[in-house]
Every structure is written in C-alpha cells, then in structure tokens.
Amino acid sequence: MILVDRPRSFSYRLLPGDVQAIPIGAYADRHNMVVLCWLLLALVAMPPLAGCVRPSRAAAPPSIPAACLPRQPDPSCFYKRIAGEHNTKVLVFVHGIFGGAATSWGDAETERFWPAMMATDKRFADFDIYLVNYPTPYLRDGPTVEDVATSELHRMSDLGLFSDYYDIHFIAHSMGGIVAKDMLMQLVERNEPRAFNRIRSVVFLATPAQGAELASLAAMLGNLQARSIEPASINDFIKRIENGWVRLLIRRDKASRTYPIAHCAYETEKTFGIIVVPLERANSRCDDVLQPMALNHHGVAVATAPDRDPYFWAMARIADANADTRKRLEAADLLKRADTFLEAGRDADARDAFLRVRSLYVDLKDSTGEAGALLGLANLDRKEGRPEAALQRYRDAMAVLKQRPEDEGPDADKAIREADIFRGIANLQRFFGRNRASLEAFNDALRIYTHLADGGSREARRGIAHVERGKGYLFLRTGRYDYARESFLRARSVYSDLESNRGLGVVLADLGDLEAELNRLGEAEQWYGLANDIYRNLDDAVGKANLLVGLGDLHRRQQKYEMSQSEYEAAIDLFRTQHDAVGEGNATLGLGDLAAARGRPAQARMKYDVAMNLYTKEDGRLGIANVLVSLGRLERNRDVELARQHLYQAAGIYAQLEMEPQRQRTLNEARNLSRR
C-alpha cells in the first residue's frame, strides 16, 4: 500500500531547502498537508526506524573481550577475535539505515547488546564476531547501498574473513539485509565461489525485500540510501537485488547444495503508528516461512534475553546451520582417518570409514566431499586387486562432481578432486595396458594441478609430483627412457621443494630402476643408496619393500647373492604386513631368478609357481608375463619347446599391455631358441 498518492502536478523528490522555501499557501489543499505531515513524521521517526538507541560510549561489559566496538564514522571491525586462537566460524552483523554497529543491536553498555550476549553464549564459544559499520546520515548524502556492499566486501576480504573462516554467518537488520544480499551476489558475479561457498546462513530481520513506503519520505529529502529501499513498484534497484537473490538460491538448489540457508522475520508492532516492514514488504525467497515477531522495527534487532526473541529465534537458526558444520567437520576428520587406515593396511577399517564419510556427505548434499569418499573407495578397490570395481568408483566420483552446474564457476576443492580422479584413472589404465588412455588422463590431471599450483596450492604441487612420477613409470615400461628420466627428475624437484621425504624416497628408487633397466648398475646403485638413506628414517613399509626388491635385483646381477637373498626376504615380510600380493610376487620372482642364477632350478621353479599364483590372484598381468620370461629362460637348456611356449605367451601379454620394447626383446629370445 502507498502511504501518499502523488498527483502529477506534485514533485515528490523535494530537497530540504525546497520544503522551507515553499509558501504554506502552496499546501492549501488537504492532500499536500498530508504530505507535509508525513515528512515531519519521517524526521521524528527515523531514529527508532533505524534501531538507534541512546548514544553509547562504545564500551562493552567488562566480562566481554571486545576487540572493537565501532561508532560512526569508525570502520567495521571484529568485536570478538581472541589473540592466539584460530576460530573457523564467524558471525557478521550488518546494521540498517540510520543505524550503527554500536547502537542498532542494543545498549552496548549493558548485557542487552546482541554481540555481547552472543559472546557469553556457550553454543557459540568457537565463533568470532564481526561488526559491519558504514556511514548512513539522515539528511546529507551518504554512500549508496551498492557502494556500501562493495566497500564492506573488500574490507572483509582484506581482513581475511573469506580465507581464515570456513563457516560464515550473517545477521542483517532492515536495509542491512539488502546490503548483505548485494555482497553475496557480488561474490558470485566476481566469480569467487570459494568465498561464497563458505557462507552458511543469513538471518534477515525486518529487511524490506520489496521496499518500504516510509523510505519514500526520506528519499524526498534527498537521501540516496532511502531511495535504494523505496517500494519495488517504483524502485528498479530493489527489484534487481531481489531478482538476483532469487536466482542465486535457485542455482544453489539446482546444484543440490545446502548453503547459504536464508531465514526471514518481520515485525508486527507499530513504530509511531506505522509498521515499517510488514509481511508483504519483508516477503522474499527464504528457506522457511517468514517468522512474525511481536516487536517494532527497532525491537527486532535488540537482544533483551537469551530465551526471548529476537535473539532466541535468530540464534537457533545459526545453531541449526552450525550443527551441519559439526557434521561436516566429522566427515572431514573421518576421511583423514580412512586415508590413514588405508596407508596402514587396515583395509576393513578404511572401507567402513569411507562408506560412513560418503553417507555424511550425501546427507550434507556435498558433491565434492562425496567424490572424495568415492575416490578413497576406488583406491582401496585398486589396492585389494579389484581394478574393474576401482575404475567404476572413479567414474562414479567424476559423475558426482559433474552434478554441479558449470555456471557456478570453478572451485579449488572440486578441481583438486577432479585432478585426483584423473590421476587414479591414469594409474588404472596403465595397469590395464591402455597406455595412450593412461597418458591422456595423466595430462588432464597435470593441467588442473598446474593451474591450481599457479595460485599457490601446496596440494596441487604435490599432485604435480605424483603425476610426473606416474608418467615416468609409464615411459619406463614403454621404453621411452629419456622421457622417463625427465619426468622422474621433475617429480624429484617438486618433492624436494615440498620437503616430502615419502615422495622423494619413491622417486629416487624409480630412478634406480631406470638405470638398472639400462644396465647402468653403478648409477642405479647411487640412486638406490640415496633412497635408502631416506627410508632409514621413514615409516613407509611399501616404499621400503619396493626399494629392497630393486636392491635385490641389483645385487643379484652383481652376483652378491647372500645380500640379494636377505633383501628379497625382508621385502616379502614387509609386503605381507601390508597385504600387498603383487609386491610379494615381485620379491618372490626375484628369489626365483636368484635360485636360477645359483644353479638351483628346482628351487627356482617352486618360487616361480608361488609368484605366478600371487600375480594370478591379483590379475597382475605384467607380473605373469615376467614369470613366463623367467620360466622360458630356465627351461631353455632342458625343454626348448616349453621354453619357447613360455616366451611367446609372455610376448602376447606384453603386446596387450602395449609394452613394445619388452615384447620385441622376448620375441627375439624365442626366435633365437628356434635356431638352436
């Protein structure tokens, strides 16, 4: 409803000087007298409309550790931010027109001050408190709502709110709700999804989402902020803000996201005979029915007691959102423990944890978290010898990530997960012998990691090292030795910069394997020695075991048989503790080759049989091919036809695995047997 009809002959945008200059006779008719009365009422009603109380000396109660309590024109600042503590949650208060951080929320000298009451509320002990404070003069021009939103957003960003806090909540009163909506919309428009995704909830208290009639009276006096909240029927700005807010929440819902949660309340009591923001003016896109409060426009922002509105209702909404946060923290902690279980060989515990994590993230509608759980399950399936199941898990994880619309913009956490999935797929494709597909997936992962690393992501740099190491191993098995060396050395450089001894030990052993493959045993021994120095002080059973297999092969070729045997046997013990059948097969194959080198064919055949069984159980085709080659060499002096059969079978497997150098070498051995 419009408070005053405006005839075409009357210009309603009057300046203060214009009002004084117009003769009383100009308002002789009853309609114009009503206009004057409303203007005078506006001047009287503005302070209570804004939520102003008697001026405070900006002093919090002694029991409250107030870091800052800004008055006009002081800048926005933290009311509570205890030095030495690092909370990950913050509540931001945004006052309305003609208000202030030290006045809108109650009496700062007493306990009836909202930020002070919250600071002593045990439910929110792990929250910091931030007070937005911007100029909002009565008569002279101040910044527009859009200007306020832009400047306050930059200040919050510069103070670290969007980087230091993972859970950000807003309580906004009156026009402060329009400011808050504009800030959130700007985060989306500026393509800052990482910051936006940290907004958990917004509580709007008597926010004129559809504008307010009373604002038109202040607008007549030339107040720019009042013009921003005039009724939507004559106000394009308020319509743009509200339409943008609706689109923002629609996009949230389409992405199956939970946040930000929006709650709205409106007043039911009059201020000087007027309900400033009634239900129809507060009507907006909210996640629940609008909450009526038996308070006036000023009262909906003043906390009188913890068990009374507005504090009771509004803080319950914040607590509800915080409960989801606790669930999110539980999921993140459980995901770390699942990874630890996986590394420790506690596969059953790891599977239970990953499944629980997935369930939590599904409840939270967190596609990135769910993808992380699926990624962990895929890695577990791969470790337990179920490559096809692992590949399906990777694909499921990628499908979950793709559920979010592309127009929401990039997200660093999502991108890391996507790169991790590509890397997992690359390793599996290499296992299946699909080397071209493996290299493509590695390059996809590398592209994402590199982009994120340019932004300073340590996790992305670690991903780059893992990819380079994976590519190096792929090049090694396909005979592209120069490429393999370059990739291994790049991985070594990144691991060294990150001070990752685990990664460094693995890639140094890889370099030893490369030199051994090229029959450069001296260089291989140097790399193995460097890796061994690292593993002496590192708790990594699988890494140590793989190094011992490499050393066993080296010392066998150097005819240091006793040393070689002890290294193979030690490797087998370590692989068994980790339930790594393929690794155990590699060490057992080494013992078979050692027995053959010592002239003990019966012992060699026994070891080859054990290794073959281990590889077959895990569908380890590369290991099976290597055993067949060793059997062919063992049988060539006893049964040439059987030896030739073993070698041709091995060559066929190498062909399936796209390992051309090994295939050609094995075929040459088989053809040489034919000439005997």
Report pLDDT for 383: 81
Report pLDDT for 72: 77
**Which DSSP symbol is given to 417?**
H
Report pLDDT for 509: 95
> Residue 564 half-sphere exposure, CB side, CA atoms within 13 Å?
21
* Mean pLDDT value across residues 324-336: 82
Residue 613 has a CB neighbour count (10 Å cut-off) of 13
On the question of pLDDT at 25 being above 50, the answer is no
- Is 423 in contact with 449 (CB distance < 8 Å)? no
Q: Which of the four pLDDT bands, split at 50, 70 and 90, describes residue 499?
A: very high
Comparing 228 with 504, which gets the higher pLDDT? 504
Summarised one tens digit per residue, pLDDT across range 634-671 is 998 889 999 999 999 999 999 998 888 899 999 999 98
**Residue 295 Cα distances to 106, 207, 213, 309, 314, angstroms:** 14, 14, 19, 9, 14
Report pLDDT for 676: 54
On the question of pLDDT at 223 being above 50, the answer is yes
Rounded Cα gap, residues 123 and 319, in angstroms? 7
Rounded Cα gap, residues 188 and 123, in angstroms? 30
* Mean pLDDT value across residues 170-192: 93
On the question of pLDDT at 19 being above 90, the answer is no
Report pLDDT for 202: 97
Regarding beta strands 127-132 and 167-173, do their DSSP bridges make them parallel or antiparallel, or are they unpaired?
unpaired
- Is 48 in contact with 298 (CB distance < 8 Å)? yes
Residues with Cβ within 8 Å of residue 434, at least 6 apart in sequence: 658
The amino acid present at 371, given as its one-letter code, is: A
The values of phi and psi at residue 426, to 5°, are -60, -45
Task: Round the average pLDDT of the chain to a whole number and report it.
Answer: 85
DSSP 232-254: GGG-HHHHHHHHHHHHHHHHHHH
Summarised one tens digit per residue, pLDDT across range 590-611 is 999 999 999 999 999 999 999 9
Between CA 628 and CA 630, with CA 629 as vertex, the angle to 5 degrees is 90
Report pLDDT for 610: 96
Report pLDDT for 259: 85
Q: Which of the four pLDDT bands, split at 50, 70 and 90, describes residue 104?
A: very high
Regarding beta strands 291-293 and 261-267, do their DSSP bridges make them parallel or antiparallel, or are they unpaired?
parallel
In which residue are the tokens 């923001």 written? 277
Rounded Cα gap, residues 667 and 671, in angstroms? 6
pTM of the model: 0.60
On the question of pLDDT at 256 being above 80, the answer is no
Tokens of 210: 């559809």
Q: How many residues does the chain have?
A: 676
Rounded Cα gap, residues 138 and 148, in angstroms? 16
On the question of pLDDT at 62 being above 70, the answer is no
* Mean pLDDT value across residues 573-577: 92
Rounded Cα gap, residues 281 and 225, in angstroms? 17
Report pLDDT for 344: 75
Report pLDDT for 40: 41
Question: Using DSSP, how many helices (H) and how many strands (E) does the chain show?
Answer: 28, 7
* Mean pLDDT value across residues 447-472: 91
Report pLDDT for 22: 29
* Mean pLDDT value across residues 497-505: 93
Please choose, from the candidates 358, 345, 437, the residue with its C-alpha nearest in 3D space to the C-alpha of residue 393.
358
- Is 498 in contact with 461 (CB distance < 8 Å)? yes
Q: Which of the four pLDDT bands, split at 50, 70 and 90, describes residue 84?
A: low
Report pLDDT for 595: 96
Summarised one tens digit per residue, pLDDT across range 546-568 is 999 999 999 999 999 999 999 99
Per-domain residue ranges of the chain? 50-54+63-304
Report pLDDT for 514: 96
Please choose, from the candidates 7, 95, 11, 13, the residue with its C-alpha nearest in 3D space to the C-alpha of residue 53.
95
DSSP 13-25: ---HHHHHHS-GG
* Mean pLDDT value across residues 260-281: 93
Report pLDDT for 94: 98
Summarised one tens digit per residue, pLDDT across range 533-549 is 999 888 888 899 999 99
Q: Which of the four pLDDT bands, split at 50, 70 and 90, describes residue 29?
A: very low
In which residue are the tokens 């009496």 written? 107
Give the highest mean pLDDT range of 165-169, 401-405, 522-526: 522-526
Q: Which of the four pLDDT bands, split at 50, 70 and 90, describes residue 221?
A: low
Report pLDDT for 10: 27
Summarised one tens digit per residue, pLDDT across range 398-409 is 999 887 554 344
- Is 96 in contact with 133 (CB distance < 8 Å)? no
For domain 50-54+63-304, the question of CATH label 3.40.50.11540 is answered with no
- For every residue of 187-215, which 3-state class applies, written as one string? HHHCCCHHHHCCEEEEEEECCCCCCCHHH
The values of phi and psi at residue 58, to 5°, are 55, 45
On the question of pLDDT at 101 being above 80, the answer is yes
> Residue 244 half-sphere exposure, CB side, CA atoms within 13 Å?
18
The amino acid present at 473, given as its one-letter code, is: Y
Report pLDDT for 228: 84
Report pLDDT for 411: 67
Please choose, from the candidates 122, 135, 129, the residue with its C-alpha nearest in 3D space to the C-alpha of residue 60.
129
